[in-house]
Amino acid sequence: MDIELRGITKRFGEVVANSNVNLTIRAGEILGLLGENGAGKTTLMNILSGLYRADEGEILIDGTPARFDGAGDAIRAGIGMVHQHFMLVPVFTVAENVVLGVEPTGRFDRLDIEKAREQVRQISAEYGLEVDPDAIIEEIPVGIQQRVEIIKVLFRSAYVLIFDEPTAVLTPQEVTEFFAIVRSLRDAGKALVFITHKLHEVREVADRISVLRAGQIVGEGDPKTATDADLAEMMVGRQVRFEVEKEPVQPGDVLLDVSDLNVLDEREEMAVNDVALQVRAGEIVGIAGVQGNGQTELVEALTGLRPLLRGRVSFLGEDVTQASARRRHQLGMAHIPEDRQRSGIIGEFNIAENMVLNSYYDERFSSGPTLRWLDVYQQTAANVAAFDVRTSSIFDHADHLSGGNQQKLVVARELSRDIKLLVASQPTRGVDVGSIEYIHKRIVEARDSGVGVLIISTELDEILSLSDRILVMFRGRIVAEFDGDKATVNEVGLAMAGVTAEQAA
């Protein structure tokens, strides 16, 4: 079955997400759809899977125009999508999730759960995707959850499978496993679309590559011949420097000293387990690891946002184990939170209010109980100019900024004062390439001026290019340490999967 997208255009208000996109998807082939964040990949695939309706253009299935009024229509036409954020009901069982929407029923609308289990087992066996039909989704690991998503799509007899950023939550080893599954599906005659912004992955697994930039298809590539540089240039629209330029490290005194740290997560389970680490002045320490291995809890514990179960945190020689987030902030600890939308900015506040969100109480901006707004505006205007936040007015709502500019706003807020340590969690997640380069540059500048930097990222590339020293976190523990100049993707990747040096040997 072949699918052709012809002249697809989709607007959200005044924003054009897709503009005149033409794309062909063929059976027995893996199409890599490459594009950076905000290029319109997900919107395009949501149109194909019936969730959005295109404003212009048409979808042809084997040459016949099709009209999707909802996800149901696309499913019936044999198109299935595995979303970046899994679309699984956490409290349902695997079988319930798989059959949801196409349930086998008996009399009186009775749900035939026995039959559902049987059907799940069948598909598991057929495609070699092992799962327990009675397991509750929230109790199984992410890798297995993704398997359930695939079974779900196959259960609906999909011929076309769309994967939206499928590797974001997987370890390098799980990625390899996942690629094997994708290839076997292709060999079984399915048509596959693999959406990603990771160059090497698309080169590894795709049979054909289409590049999307600013809502338009800007080029095609052959994975066998195209280089990372070619693809990146197509994706970004200009040449990209992959290497971050930085001076050799000159570590100073120990700023942050953490020992014996144990932290619980929301479910009262051990998220951070006996972690010890140090950050010195003038060095960048990177913490690598797959998402959900305790990084969030570690950062929150270091910045005073989450209580410790046990352990000691000292900062500038002072014991701050019990100190509040405000106190640590005052001592010179800056924090770029991992999810700016959720916890970094306040969308309906203007830029000035966001700029002083954690320093409004400072003498610079307030006297007694009242705020001095004029001083706030002066400082904001200076910071906005200094950190290249693109906006027409500091009274604009933060909501109206692009992701990259929102992140620069956060970076400006944290770096525009006199700090000793920067804790940066996912500093460039969901940000365009230009902003990534800019933010990396500012972080390195901070380090060169003697600030200690702790970067936590799930993007291995980011860790490798920035860090002077790399720690790897796995299941709440620091399982390995590498020298930033010598570490290789392979070594760090194995450690991220929990494989120790001895086991690997």
List binders of another protein among 63-122 (CB under 8 A). 70-73, 75, 81, 83, 85, 87-92, 96-97, 100-103, 105, 108-111
Told to check if 353 binds another protein by CB under 8 A, we report yes
d(CA 246, CA 234) in angstroms, rounded, equals 26
* Contact present, 271 and 263 (Cβ < 8 Å): yes
d(CA 372, CA 366) in angstroms, rounded, equals 5
User: What residues have CB less than 8 Å from 217, skipping those under 6 apart?
Assistant: 21, 22, 23, 210, 211
Told to check if 342 binds another protein by CB under 8 A, we report yes
Rounded least distance, CB 476 to another protein, Å:
9
| Short-list 247, 370, 258, CA closest to 304 | 258
Classified as helix, coil or strand, 37 is coil
Match 């290249």 to its residue by tokens: 388
| Short-list 279, 276, 275, 277, CA closest to 255 | 279
Classified as helix, coil or strand, 159 is coil
Residue number, 35 or 344, with CB nearest to another protein: 344
Residue number, 148 or 433, with CB nearest to another protein: 148
Which of the ranges 174-182, 197-205, 338-346, 427-435 carries the binding residues for another protein, by CB under 8 A? 338-346
According to CB under 8 A, which residues from 286 to 305 bind another protein? 304-305
Which of the ranges 126-134, 161-169, 363-371, 433-441 carries the binding residues for another protein, by CB under 8 A? 363-371
Q: Which of 151, 345, 443, 470 binds another protein (CB under 8 A)?
A: 345
Which of the ranges 161-169, 233-241, 279-287, 322-330 carries the binding residues for another protein, by CB under 8 A? 322-330
According to CB under 8 A, which residues from 474 to 493 bind another protein? none
Q: Please report how many Cα atoms fall inside a 13 Å half-sphere around the Cα of residue 59, on the Cβ side.
A: 22
Buried b (16+ CB within 10 A) or exposed e, 17-34: bbbebebebbeebbbbbb
Told to check if 157 binds another protein by CB under 8 A, we report no
Told to check if 180 binds another protein by CB under 8 A, we report no
Rounded least distance, CB 253 to another protein, Å:
25
d(CA 208, CA 224) in angstroms, rounded, equals 9
Cβ neighbours of 503 (radius 10 Å): 8
Q: Which of 19, 20, 321, 378 binds another protein (CB under 8 A)?
A: 378
According to CB under 8 A, which residues from 12 to 31 bind another protein? 12-15
Residue number, 111 or 229, with CB nearest to another protein: 111
Told to check if 218 binds another protein by CB under 8 A, we report no
* Contact present, 415 and 405 (Cβ < 8 Å): no
Q: Which of 245, 348, 418, 502 binds another protein (CB under 8 A)?
A: 348
Cβ neighbours of 57 (radius 10 Å): 17
Site string for another protein, 385-404 (x = CB under 8 A): xx-----xxxxxx-x-----
Residue number, 66 or 254, with CB nearest to another protein: 66
According to CB under 8 A, which residues from 233 to 252 bind another protein? none
Match 């969308």 to its residue by tokens: 347
Q: Which of 241, 326, 390, 441 binds another protein (CB under 8 A)?
A: 326
d(CA 358, CA 427) in angstroms, rounded, equals 18
Residue number, 177 or 396, with CB nearest to another protein: 396
Q: Which of 66, 240, 254, 270 binds another protein (CB under 8 A)?
A: 270
User: What residues have CB less than 8 Å from 339, skipping those under 6 apart?
Assistant: 426, 429
Match 């049987």 to its residue by tokens: 118
Q: Which of 20, 262, 321, 402 binds another protein (CB under 8 A)?
A: 262
d(CA 351, CA 389) in angstroms, rounded, equals 10
| DSSP class per residue in 266-316 | TTS-EEEEEEEEEEETT-EEEEE--TTSSHHHHHHHHTTSS--SEEEEEET
Which of the ranges 123-131, 195-203, 341-349, 449-457 carries the binding residues for another protein, by CB under 8 A? 341-349
Which of the ranges 190-198, 343-351, 415-423, 464-472 carries the binding residues for another protein, by CB under 8 A? 343-351
Told to check if 150 binds another protein by CB under 8 A, we report no
Q: Which of 357, 402, 437, 450 binds another protein (CB under 8 A)?
A: 357
Which of the ranges 204-212, 250-258, 265-273, 285-293 carries the binding residues for another protein, by CB under 8 A? 265-273
Rounded least distance, CB 461 to another protein, Å:
26
* Contact present, 181 and 150 (Cβ < 8 Å): yes
d(CA 76, CA 158) in angstroms, rounded, equals 8
Told to check if 501 binds another protein by CB under 8 A, we report no
Residue number, 187 or 348, with CB nearest to another protein: 348
Read off the amino acid at residue 392: S
| Short-list 223, 205, 235, CA closest to 40 | 235
- With 0-12 CB in 10 A as exposed, 13-18 as middle and 19+ as buried, what is 239? exposed
Residue number, 242 or 395, with CB nearest to another protein: 395
Could you give phi then psi for residue 260, rounded to 5 degrees?
60, 35
Told to check if 441 binds another protein by CB under 8 A, we report no
Q: Which of 66, 332, 360, 402 binds another protein (CB under 8 A)?
A: 360
Which of the ranges 28-36, 170-178, 202-210, 358-366 carries the binding residues for another protein, by CB under 8 A? 358-366
Told to check if 154 binds another protein by CB under 8 A, we report no
Q: Which of 291, 377, 437, 465 binds another protein (CB under 8 A)?
A: 377
| Short-list 305, 374, 361, 291, CA closest to 333 | 305
